[in-house]
Amino acid sequence: MTINVGKDTAKTRKTLDAAGTSYDYYSIPAAEEAGLGNFKRLPSALKVVLENILRFEDGGRTASEDDIRAFSDWAENGGKSSREINYRPARVLMQDFTGVPAVVDLAAMRDGIVGLGGDAEQINPLSPVDLVIDHSVMIDEFGNPRAFQMNVDREYERNIERYTFLKWGQKAFDNFRVVPPGTGICHQVNLEYLAKTVWSDKDQDGKLVAYPDTLVGTDSHTTMVNGAAVLGWGVGGIEAEAAMLGQPISMLIPEVIGFKLTGKMREGTTATDLVLRVVKMLREKGVVGKFVEFYGDGLDTVPLADRATIGNMAPEYGATCGFFPIDQVTLRYLEQTGRDEDTIALVEAYAKAQGMWREPGYEPVYTDTLELDMDTVVPAISGPKRPQDHIALDDAATAFHEYIRGQREGKDTSERSEVRWEGEGGSPEPQDIPGDQGHHKRGFVQTEDGHYQLHDGSIVIASITSCTNTSNPYVMIGAGLVARKAREMGLDRKPWVKTSLAPGSQVVSAYLEAAGLQEDLDALGFNLVGYGCTTCIGNSGPLEPEISKSINDNDLIAVSVLSGNRNFEGRISPDVRANYLASPPLVVLYALIGDMNIDITREPIGQDQNGKDVFLADLWPSQQEIADLVEKTVTRESFQEKYADVFEGDEKWRSVETTDNLTYDWPSTSTYVQNPPYFQDMSPEAGTIDDVKGARVMAILGDMVTTDHISPAGSFKEKTPAGKYLTDRQVAPREFNSFGSRRGNHEVMMRGTFANIRIRNEMLDGVEGGFTKGPDGEQMPIYDAAMAYQEQGIPLVIVAGEQYGAGSSRDWAAKGTALLGVKAVIAESFERIHRSNLVGMGVVPFEFTGGDTRASLNLTGDETFDIEGLSDPDLKPAAMLKARITYPDGTEKEIEVKCRIDTEVEIDYVKNGGVLHYVLRSLAANASAA
DSSP string, 285-328: H--TT-EEEEESGGGGG--HHHHHHHHHTHHHHT-SEEE--B-H
At residue 7's C-alpha, the angle toward residues 5 and 8, to 5°, is: 110
What pLDDT, on a 0 to 100 scale, did the predictor assign at position 680?
83
Minimal CA–CA distance to 639: which of 191, 331, 221?
Answer: 191
Minimal CA–CA distance to 755: which of 777, 730, 772?
Answer: 772
Handedness of CA 336, 341, 343, 349 (dihedral sign): positive
Decide if pLDDT at 625 tops 50.
Answer: yes
pLDDT digits (tens, 9 = 90+) for 842-858: 999 999 999 999 999 99
At residue 767's C-alpha, the angle toward residues 787 and 578, to 5°, is: 115
Phi, psi of 559 (to 5 degrees): -125, 145
Start-end of H helices in 634-704: 636-642, 651-654
**Section 527-543 average pLDDT:** 89
Other C-beta atoms lying within 10 Å of the C-beta of residue 120:
17
**Residues shown for the chain:** 930
CA atoms within 13 A on the CB side of 637: 4
What pLDDT, on a 0 to 100 scale, did the predictor assign at position 1?
55
What pLDDT, on a 0 to 100 scale, did the predictor assign at position 3?
61
**Section 338-359 average pLDDT:** 97
Decide if pLDDT at 308 tops 70.
Answer: yes
Segment among 136-140, 173-177, 439-443, 547-551 with least mean pLDDT: 439-443
Decide if pLDDT at 540 tops 70.
Answer: yes
What rounded mean pLDDT belongs to the chain? 91
Q: How far apart are CA 70 and CA 31, in angstroms?
A: 13
The residues pairing with 159 across neighbouring beta strands, listed in sequence order, are none
The residue ranking higher by pLDDT, 223 or 10, is 223
CB proximity list for 833: less than 8 A, separation 6 or greater = 220, 234, 235, 236, 315, 805, 809
Amino acid at 660: D
Segment among 112-116, 391-395, 700-704, 873-877 with least mean pLDDT: 112-116
Decide if pLDDT at 6 tops 80.
Answer: no
- Cα 777 to chain centroid distance, Å, stands at 36
Domain 692-711+753-912 has CATH 3.20.19.10: yes
Contacts 24+ apart (CB under 8 A), 391-399: 393/586, 393/600, 393/601, 394/599, 394/601, 394/602, 396/580, 396/596, 396/599, 396/600, 396/601, 397/596, 397/597, 397/598, 397/599, 397/600, 398/599
CB proximity list for 140: less than 8 A, separation 6 or greater = 150, 151, 154, 541, 542
**Section 309-332 average pLDDT:** 96
| 676 upstream amide cis, omega within 30 of 0 | no
Minimal CA–CA distance to 488: which of 519, 520, 514?
Answer: 520
Kindly state the DSSP code that residue 595 receives in the 8-state scheme.
Answer: B
Decide if pLDDT at 826 tops 50.
Answer: yes
* Banded model confidence at residue 737, pLDDT cuts 50, 70, 90: confident
Q: Show the 3-state SS of 351-420.
A: HHHHCCECCCCCCCCCCEEEEEEHHHCCCEEECCCCCCCEEEHHHHHHHHHHHHHHHCCCCCCCCEEEEE
What pLDDT, on a 0 to 100 scale, did the predictor assign at position 411?
46
* Banded model confidence at residue 212, pLDDT cuts 50, 70, 90: very high
* Banded model confidence at residue 410, pLDDT cuts 50, 70, 90: low
Q: How far apart are CA 782 and CA 787, in angstroms?
A: 9
What pLDDT, on a 0 to 100 scale, did the predictor assign at position 238?
84
pLDDT digits (tens, 9 = 90+) for 778-808: 999 999 999 999 999 999 999 999 999 988 7
* Banded model confidence at residue 773, pLDDT cuts 50, 70, 90: very high
* Banded model confidence at residue 8, pLDDT cuts 50, 70, 90: very low
Minimal CA–CA distance to 548: which of 462, 419, 460, 438?
Answer: 460
**Section 865-887 average pLDDT:** 97
Residue 97 CA: distances (Å) to CA of 337, 558, 738: 27, 27, 10
At residue 447's C-alpha, the angle toward residues 442 and 453, to 5°, is: 20
| Burial class (CB within 10 angstroms; exposed 0-12, middle 13-18, buried 19+) of 206 | exposed
Q: How far apart are CA 325 and CA 258, in angstroms?
A: 12
| Cβ–Cβ < 8 Å for 216, 235 | yes
| Burial class (CB within 10 angstroms; exposed 0-12, middle 13-18, buried 19+) of 657 | exposed
* Banded model confidence at residue 713, pLDDT cuts 50, 70, 90: confident
Start and end residues for every CATH 3.30.499.10 domain found in the chain: 406-460+468-621
Q: What is the DSSP string of 685-743?
A: S---PPPEEEEEEEEE--TT-BHHHHS--S---TTSHHHHHHHTTT--GGG---TGGGT
Start-end of H helices in 440-516: 467-470, 473-488, 506-514
Kindly state the DSSP code that residue 871 receives in the 8-state scheme.
Answer: T
Q: How far apart are CA 49 and CA 39, in angstroms?
A: 12
Minimal CA–CA distance to 230: which of 261, 260, 175, 187?
Answer: 187
H/E element, 24: strand 21-26
Q: How far apart are CA 71 and CA 76, in angstroms?
A: 9
Q: How far apart are CA 293 and CA 321, in angstroms?
A: 8
Q: How far apart are CA 269 and CA 378, in angstroms?
A: 6
pLDDT digits (tens, 9 = 90+) for 96-119: 888 888 899 999 999 989 888 889
* Pairing mode of beta strands 692-700, 796-799: parallel
Adjacency order of strands within the sheet including 214-217: 176-179, 129-132, 91-95, 214-217, 231-234
Start and end residues for every CATH 3.20.19.10 domain found in the chain: 692-711+753-912
Kindly state the DSSP code that residue 544 receives in the 8-state scheme.
Answer: P
Residue 733 CA: distances (Å) to CA of 256, 716, 750, 820: 48, 9, 18, 25
pLDDT digits (tens, 9 = 90+) for 220-263: 899 999 999 999 999 888 888 888 888 888 888 999 999 999 99
The residues pairing with 621 across neighbouring beta strands, listed in sequence order, are none
| Cβ–Cβ < 8 Å for 159, 136 | yes
The residues pairing with 630 across neighbouring beta strands, listed in sequence order, are none
Minimal CA–CA distance to 679: which of 113, 173, 117?
Answer: 113
Q: How far apart are CA 136 and CA 737, in angstroms?
A: 9
Decide if pLDDT at 581 tops 70.
Answer: yes
pLDDT digits (tens, 9 = 90+) for 152-169: 999 999 899 999 999 999
Segment among 262-276, 525-539, 698-712 with least mean pLDDT: 525-539
Angle between helix 44-56 and 65-76 (nearest 10): 160
Segment among 369-373, 391-395, 569-573 with least mean pLDDT: 569-573
The residue ranking higher by pLDDT, 886 or 387, is 886
**Section 579-586 average pLDDT:** 96
**Section 268-282 average pLDDT:** 95
* Banded model confidence at residue 358, pLDDT cuts 50, 70, 90: very high
Which CATH architecture fits 406-460+468-621?
Answer: 2-Layer Sandwich (3.30)
What pLDDT, on a 0 to 100 scale, did the predictor assign at position 205?
86
3-state secondary structure of 606: strand
